[in-house]
Chain A
Amino acid sequence: KAGVTQTPRYLIKTRGQQVTLSCSPISGHRSVSWYQQTPGQGLQFLFEYFSETQRNKGNFPGRFSGRQFSNSRSEMNVSTLELGDSALYLCASSFEVNEKLFFGSGTQLSVL
């Protein structure tokens, strides 16, 4: 069974640009969550989707958005990038809510 797949693995952008990250959950998983990991702030919850609906949202500005498609694949978008958005963005999936989370390898975003 393939794990959680995140693309791209690495991304370099400049301030002011926008970026879209993709996450393919494990087959059959309907819940997808996104986390931001930085050395200073650690792991912080961004949002969670279940069956195409956003269930929870973390404390991030509106520049951070996401969506989930009918096949459970998810994308997150960050507009008007800032230097502080440089981070590892992790996606995690589970079959149902409150079940074991499986994490992907992440997308390392660098904003110059």
Chain B
Amino acid sequence: AQSVSQHNHHVILSEAASLELGCNYSYGGTVNLFWYVQYPGQHLQLLLKYFSGDPLVKGIKGFEAEFIKSKFSFNLRKPSVQWSDTAEYFCAVKSHNAGNMLTFGGGTRLMVKP
């Protein structure tokens, strides 16, 4: 069975600080990887996804993630966070042939202090 670990449950940063949220998964086959974000009071929405090709994926709002297959990792990064990035971030993985059956990590709550 797949599992996804997000090691940081809560992160507090000041504006302009750099962000890196860790995500590790366990699955031996070909995977598709995702980061979703949930802003306060809003729906879950897709930040970025990796299916194949360049392991460095760029998403919306200046976020990027790097797929490192040998480390089973898909860490999310942003060089300079803003107060509006305060949200909960979820890493998710699915087998490439598993439809839309995603396995989510436990989430990381990010608070950016102005």
Contact = CB atoms under 8 A, between A and B. Distances in A.
Interface stretch (A50-58, A67-75, A76-84): A50-58
Interface residues of A, number: 25
Contact of B99 (A3, A44, A48, A90): A48
B90 A43 contact: yes
Interface in A1-16: 3-4
A42 B46 contact: no
A43 B46 contact: no
Contact of A97 (B44, B49, B51, B100): B100
B100 A33 contact: yes
B107 A42 contact: yes
B43 A31 contact: no
Most central of B44, B104, B107 by chain A CB within 10 Å: B44
A3 B98 CA distance: 24
A107 interface: no
B82 interface: no
B54 to A, nearest CB: 18
Most central of B98, B100, B105, B107 by chain A CB within 10 Å: B100
Contacts of B101: 33, 45, 48, 56, 58
15 contacts: A33-B100, A33-B101, A42-B107, A43-B107, A44-B104, A45-B101, A48-B100, A48-B101, A56-B99, A58-B101, A92-B44, A92-B100, A94-B100, A98-B51, A102-B45
Interface of A: 3-4, 31, 33, 35, 42-45, 48, 50, 55-56, 58, 90, 92, 94, 97-98, 100-105
